[in-house]
Amino acid sequence: MTETTTIEESTPATPSHPTPASARPEVEVLRADPAPVRWVHRWRRAGRAEGRTHEWHAVRAGAVVAGLAALWMWNPGAVAFLGILTALVFLHELGHYVVARRVGMAPTDFFVGFGPTVWARTSRTGLRYGVKLLPAGGFVKIPGMGPREEVEASREPYTYRAATRGRRLAVILAGVAVNFALAVVLFAGFALSQPDTGAIDAVGTGLGQTGEVATGTLEGLGNLVFGADDYARSVVSGDVPENRMMSPVGGAQIADGLIDVDPSRLLLLAGIFSASLALLNLLPLLPLDGGHAALVVVEAVAARVTRRPRLRLDPNRFTPVAVVVLVVLLSVSASAMYLDILHPLGDAVR
């Protein structure tokens, strides 16, 4: 005789109110929520599965959007110029990053902007990239820029200091090379937009205008250095000095005027600032790229003279010089900004 046992399954009671999304299983979230929400969940889940993490600050993002919207309502040219400047610096830093990866270094940070983080994501390789609160400029961090910097033993072979001098020099000059190349492309692009201009002529025009901007920037810097007294007196008196430097405020004023007159000329403005940014970064002064390049060259000469191939110069020892350079650059920038506010440049293009 066979005894049959019946097991009755109890049906759970249906809750009187819907379960919040945070308490539902992930599969239910993916099924019930709108498509954009499902995409975000899948993106996050895929990132966690591959060892990636991400960070998001909605309040800061809202502040950035609100600030840009208010700036656009007040002065559209300021937003346009801010976008140009951010793009130029971003591509400059991207040049550093790409070459660093190609020569075997492992950058740990790559951000657009400065200040608190708005959005960030960490890749499987340990690179943390994202957007900062102040949308101007950017930076790439490569471990081992100084010989005394503490780095994990597993990351030591991929540091800046572990690379050969040739590779370090390539990484340093990559950003400048990108800005010079970008200036040629921008000038050539504007030339192509004009009637009866061929591609070869446009490239020639781009090269020529880049050279002219570089030469003019050098002359302006030389006049500023040797005519510092006259420049300072002009700034104090409120007069327009003969060798006037343009600040981001002046760039925004010109951009605003170009939007009204001929938006295509924004390419020229971007090309001028790209070439100027490259040349300024080539100055052999820390903390500029030219200063780091000069340090590598001096290190190579000292290593050969002293017969110490492994000699490494510590950039931190030149911190006082770097501080002085920063103070001078900030002072010149502040004075140029003051003059641009006192004597706007926007009317010059209208």
Structurally, the chain folds into a number of domains equal to 1
Is 125 contained in some domain?
yes
Asked if residue 45 is part of any domain, the answer here is no
**Domain annotation covers residue 16:** no
Tell me, what's the pLDDT at 1? 45
Strand partners, 91: none
The pair of structure tokens assigned to 122 is 């960490």
The residue range of the domain holding 163 is 54-349
- pTM for the whole structure: 0.77
Q: What is residue 205's predicted lDDT score, i.e. its pLDDT?
A: 77
- Catalytic residue list contains 93: yes
Q: Decide if 26 is inside a domain.
A: no
Buried b (16+ CB within 10 A) or exposed e, 300-318: beebeeeeeeeeebebeeb
For residue 62, is it within any domain? yes
DSSP-assigned states of every residue in 63-90: HHHHHHHHHHHH-HHHHHHHHHHHHHHH
What residues form DSSP beta bridges with 130? 111, 120
Of 9, 26, 93, 212, the catalytic one is 93
- Structural contact between residues 253 and 246, judged by C-beta atoms closer than 8 angstroms: no
- Is residue 6 included in any domain, yes or no? no
Q: Is residue 13 part of a domain?
A: no
Mean pLDDT along residues 7-16: 46
At residue 346, the pLDDT reads 58
The string of pLDDT tens digits covering residues 330-339 is 887 787 777 7
Identify whether 32 is part of a domain. no
Q: Which two tokens stand for residue 262?
A: 């001929």
Region 98-126: mean pLDDT is 91
Give the range among 41-50, 71-80, 147-156 with minimum mean pLDDT.
41-50
**Residue 99's pLDDT band (cuts 50, 70, 90):** very high
Residue 93 has pLDDT above 80, yes or no: yes
User: What digits encode the pLDDT tens for the residues 180-200?
Assistant: 999 999 988 888 877 777 777
